[in-house]
Amino acid sequence: MTRKYFGTDGIRGAANSEPMTAGTALKVGKAAGHIFTRGNHRHRVVIGKDTRLSGYMIENALTAGFLSVGMDVMLVGPMPTPAVAMLTRSLRADLGVMISASHNHFEDNGIKLFGPDGFKLSDSVEHDIEALLEHDDVPLAGPAKLGRAKRFEDARGRYIEAAKSTFPKHLRLGGLKIVIDCANGAAYQVAPTVLWELEAEVIPIGVTPDGFNINKDCGSTATDTLRREVVKQGADLGIALDGDADRVLICDEKGQIVDGDQLMALIGQSWKRQGRLRGDGIVATVMSNLGLERYLEGQGLSLARTSVGDRYVLEHMRQHGFNVGGEQSGHVILSDYVTTGDGLIAALQVLAVIVETGKPVSEVCRCFEPYPQVLQNVRYSNGSPLEQPTVRQIIEDGRIRLGKEGRLVIRPSGTEPLIRVMGEGLDSGLVNQVVGDIAGEIARVAAI
């Protein structure tokens, strides 16, 4: 049986431990390079990374693997994940690679692969790569056909201009004071530059990476620093990116965080007004708030829900013709512009609405009142607690108690031995009670 390397978002793990070792990265380069060598032209791959210490090791190992099968390598250094996807397509490369573990701390790293169209690889292609990794029998290039590696110095400028081009030509950010937190990650150079060139007053934080501080007390998963700075500076808003800049959260002038659900509602409603919205709605996951669904219904729009993971959102968007989708966590996918989540480009669409309305961010970005939502995680070591009759019964009872104005989502985590119990409804006390009862029964059964 072929070993599973790829998760829901590439290969990921603790740096210098399997599968995130130099040896495995070398094999990934060879395997992916072999599969994407199609035709007689000179093949090339774009490799970007975030700012983790282990990025140097993984980058060099991947490079060696690609070169060994005759593929040329274009190194772009620290760049956002969506920038690597964009450059892969723009440069007519055969493959793109992003070295990042997204919002995780520096101890972890990961490898994300993009096809020549700029989209993440399909499950079947990932399986083909895994099969080659297992046997490590990829044919190598002869001495005269080895690849060449070079730094692509123009990468940063290309992405900056591409991002700026998504902002309406007749608008500028002059007069707005913006704090941007780049999480000491991949966007630390490009994101403040884009905002400044669009004439905003920019206060950058999280822009001093040292290999260890990516996502540490900063970025979209730790927003306290951003919130304090927005209030302290009297800024109009704050923007929080994560380590590879594919997700974004907004902070209003009062220091309150606006999540991905609100951002999708705002962009969806704005694009509908402009006649740009496709699919008559947006795509989100089962974790998005019921308040978002009700808001969209009131706007004559639909909410299509998918499994958790931005790849599932994107798949549904591509299959059914939507151009706005994302996750509550801040992955916002705008397929008119990008092939994956892009925190900066999503923020620019929000800023366009703010500039056009001239209203405070706290007013513009709060489209709906979220339903009270409660999430509890239950750890288990073996067995299948969700298959037990008593657990099934208490879940069914909970659905009945919450009624039509409530919702339950109970699912195993895709990355940890956890069962996630999420409930929402109009009555926060009832939601807490229902979620607590279900989590308690799962924990009881799991302990037997």
Dihedral (C-alpha) 352, 353, 355, 361: value to the nearest 10 degrees?
-120
pLDDT of residue 257: 98
**Distance between CA atoms of residues 203 and 70, nearest Å:** 44
Is pLDDT of 210 > 70?
yes
User: At the topology level of CATH, where does 11-153 sit?
Assistant: Alpha-D-Glucose-1,6-Bisphosphate; Chain A, domain 3 (3.40.120)
Query: 54, 68, 100, 102: which is the annotated catalytic residue?
Result: 102
Q: What distance in Å separates the CA atoms of residue 164 and residue 43, rounded to the nearest whole number?
A: 30
Question: What's the pLDDT score for residue 61?
Answer: 98
pLDDT score for 382: 76
The answer on pLDDT for 1 being more than 70 is no
Domain locations in the chain?
Answer: 11-153, 159-256, 258-364, 373-447
Does 165 belong to an annotated binding site?
no
Fold exhibited by the domain 159-256:
Alpha-D-Glucose-1,6-Bisphosphate; Chain A, domain 3 (3.40.120)
> Is 165 considered catalytic here?
no
Domains 11-153 and 159-256 share a fold: yes
As assigned by CATH, the class of the 258-364 domain is: alpha beta
The reply to whether 94 sits in an annotated binding site is no
Tell me if 59 sits within 8 A of 97, measured CB to CB: no
What pLDDT is stored for residue 3 in this prediction? 84
Per-residue pLDDT tens for 51-64?
A: 999 999 999 999 99
pLDDT in tens, 217-256: 999 999 999 999 999 999 999 999 999 999 999 999 999 9
**CB contact set of 21 (below 8 Å; sequence gap of 6+):** none
CATH class of 373-447: alpha beta
3-state SS, one letter per residue, for 9-50 = CEEEEECCCCCCCHHHHHHHHHHHHHHCCCCCCCCEEEEEEC
Model confidence at 415: pLDDT above 80: no
Map residue 84 onto helix, strand or coil: helix
- Grouping H, G, I as helix, E, B as strand and the rest as coil, residue 110 is strand
Q: Is 244 annotated as a binding residue?
A: yes
In this prediction, residues 435-443 reach a mean pLDDT of: 95
Residue 236 among known ligand-binding residues: no
